[in-house]
């Protein structure tokens, strides 16, 4: 028996490759599926099953493509309804894989069809659970993402309480826990940085598994502090339910080199968004007018999903050399399949063609502190709500809204004002600056973010530990 976690950091997502006696199961595969086919071929094994723990909301899974390539059976938990061929399992149904067995435990709560897959080894012993978004290390899945459900989030939280206690906490303490996500995912509130754990440790340390916890207490604690899900979540869940364009076609369409004239023509004719994925430092020094920055080196795909509201939006790319296919791939992972090409030669070719370049003024934290003393300036903090509440600059000229919800807050700021933007370290503030600048706002970026600002003499609130908020 072989179990391999294939972890993707930018999505904080774990897919799983399980092999026994020449037969393979893949759990929650990524959109680009050839890696699983190649791995199975290299081990002279055949992919037999594709298990999906639920209809994922935070990424587009590769189950449909992988089934077409391999003939493997897609397996969902009870109640799942799809627009493609899939096996909808019954609770406690078992699937033989070589010398091992995978048992379906219906664990509704995160979503109605959520399932946890229990791996029973060659000796008949419960070995591991693949818990999807039902149980994370340090947390449990948010119960507010059910697709087209008449149930409330309180109803789903109540189901999750029962699922955890009746299906998972009854298992032995030495059972290994393989969750679908780790820290950085928006599918939970307080996920651990660890990506593999032991069930007994979770029973002892995970707040949601306290033995003396009542259902009412669980519902209250699980729902406390949950922010609205990113706008793309429901759209990705529907793609996973309904099907999608095959990945190879998406990659072929997007991996097209365009000279500056072609690039400009397509941008104008197709209404394409120019997405610049270089570093924030490069972007502020020079970029194509009206382009939006979301750096490939940061939390790229989730930020694209949060900020670009139309999955069908035509996209043109400005990318570092060698990152073209990676960028198209990472866009497709969250359902953005309409990339039309990239600027050949990058911004240097745009400049060489004599086309317009814009910049964003970027100043140091010390420079902001000096300007704050000498003039009436407006400061905009784009960190998350919890970051802001724990510590922030003080003053009537300090404003806040999280970058995640910038599209909902445009009417709260004045287009006649100049805004000095900061986040925690500089990545998110440049994203915000690019969006505001493209919409006609006058913006100045504060390099280094709050990490640098807190070292200045600017007035600040006292620090409050986020866990006490």
- Given pLDDT bands bounded at 50, 70 and 90, which one contains residue 467? low
pLDDT digits (tens, 9 = 90+) for 137-190: 999 999 998 755 688 999 999 999 999 999 999 999 999 999 999 988 888 777
Q: Average per-residue pLDDT in the chain?
A: 95
Whether 248 shows a pLDDT value over 50: the answer reads yes
Q: H-helix or E-strand containing 249?
A: helix 247-254
pLDDT given at position 374: 84
b/e for 290-327, b at 16 or more Cβ within 10 A? ebbbbbbebbbbbbbbbbbeebebbbbbbbbeebbeeb
- Given pLDDT bands bounded at 50, 70 and 90, which one contains residue 468? very low
The percent of residues in the chain predicted with pLDDT above 70, rounded, is 99
pLDDT winner (highest mean) among 177-191, 281-295, 363-377: 281-295
pLDDT given at position 136: 97
For the chain, list the domains and their CATH numbers.
2-236 (3.60.15.10), 245-352 (3.40.250.10), 361-468 (3.40.250.10)
Cβ 365 vs Cβ 444: under 8 Å: no
Whether 191 shows a pLDDT value over 90: the answer reads no
* Count of residues in the chain: 469
pLDDT given at position 393: 97
pLDDT given at position 235: 96
pLDDT digits (tens, 9 = 90+) for 303-334: 999 999 999 999 999 999 999 999 999 999 99
Whether 205 shows a pLDDT value over 50: the answer reads yes
pLDDT given at position 146: 72
SS3 198: strand
Q: What average pLDDT score do residues 119-130 get?
A: 98
* Cα 104 from Cα 94, distance rounded (Å): 6
The percent of residues in the chain predicted with pLDDT above 90, rounded, is 91
């Amino acid at each position: 028996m072989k179990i391999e976690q294939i972890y993707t950091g930018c999505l904080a997502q774990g897919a799983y490759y399980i092999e026994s006696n020449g037969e393979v199961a893949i759990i929650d595969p990524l959109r680009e599926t050839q890696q699983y086919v190649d791995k199975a071929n290299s081990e002279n094994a055949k992919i037999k099953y594709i298990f999906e723990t639920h209809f994922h909301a935070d990424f587009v899974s590769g189950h449909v493509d992988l089934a077409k390539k391999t003939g493997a059976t897609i397996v969902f938990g009870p109640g799942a309804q799809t627009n493609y061929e899939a096996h909808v399992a019954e609770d406690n149904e078992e699937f033989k894989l070589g010398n091992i067995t995978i048992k379906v435990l219906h664990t509704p709560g995160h979503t109605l069809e959520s399932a946890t897959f229990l791996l029973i080894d060659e000796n008949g012993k419960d070995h591991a659970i693949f818990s999807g978004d039902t149980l994370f290390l340090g947390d449990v899945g948010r119960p507010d993402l059910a697709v087209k459900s008449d149930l409330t989030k309180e109803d789903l939280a109540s189901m999750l309480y029962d699922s955890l206690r009746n299906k998972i906490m009854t298992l032995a303490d030495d059972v290994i826990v393989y969750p679908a996500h780790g820290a950085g995912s928006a599918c939970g509130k307080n996920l651990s940085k660890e990506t593999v754990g032991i069930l007994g440790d979770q029973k002892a340390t995970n707040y949601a598994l306290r033995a003396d916890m009542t259902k009412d207490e669980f519902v209250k604690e699980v729902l406390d502090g949950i922010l609205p899900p990113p706008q793309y979540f429901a759209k990705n869940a529907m793609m996973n339910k309904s099907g999608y364009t095959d990945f190879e076609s998406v990659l072929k369409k997007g991996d097209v080199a365009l000279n500056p004239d072609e690039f400009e023509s397509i941008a104008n004719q197709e209404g394409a968004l120019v997405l610049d994925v270089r570093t924030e430092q490069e972007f502020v020094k020079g970029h194509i007018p009206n382009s939006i920055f979301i750096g490939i080196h940061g939390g790229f795909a989730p930020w694209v999903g949060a900020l670009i509201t139309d999955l069908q939006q035509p996209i043109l790319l400005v990318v570092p050399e060698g990152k073209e296919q990676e960028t198209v791939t990472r866009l497709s992972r969250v359902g953005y399949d309409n990339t039309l090409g990239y600027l050949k030669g990058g911004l240097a070719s745009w400049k060489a063609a004599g086309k317009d370049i814009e910049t964003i003024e970027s100043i140091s934290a010390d420079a902001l502190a000096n300007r704050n003393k000498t003039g009436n300036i407006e400061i905009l903090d784009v960190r998350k709500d919890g970051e802001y509440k724990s510590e922030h600059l003080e003053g009537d000229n300090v404003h806040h809204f999280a970058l995640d919800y910038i599209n909902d807050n445009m009417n709260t700021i004045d287009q006649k004002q100049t805004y000095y933007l900061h986040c925690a370290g500089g990545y998110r503030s440049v994203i915000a600056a690019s969006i505001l600048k493209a919409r006609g706002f006058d913006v100045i970026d504060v390099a280094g973010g709050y990490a640098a600002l807190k070292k200045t003499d600017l007035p600040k609130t006292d620090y409050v530990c986020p866990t006490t908020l």
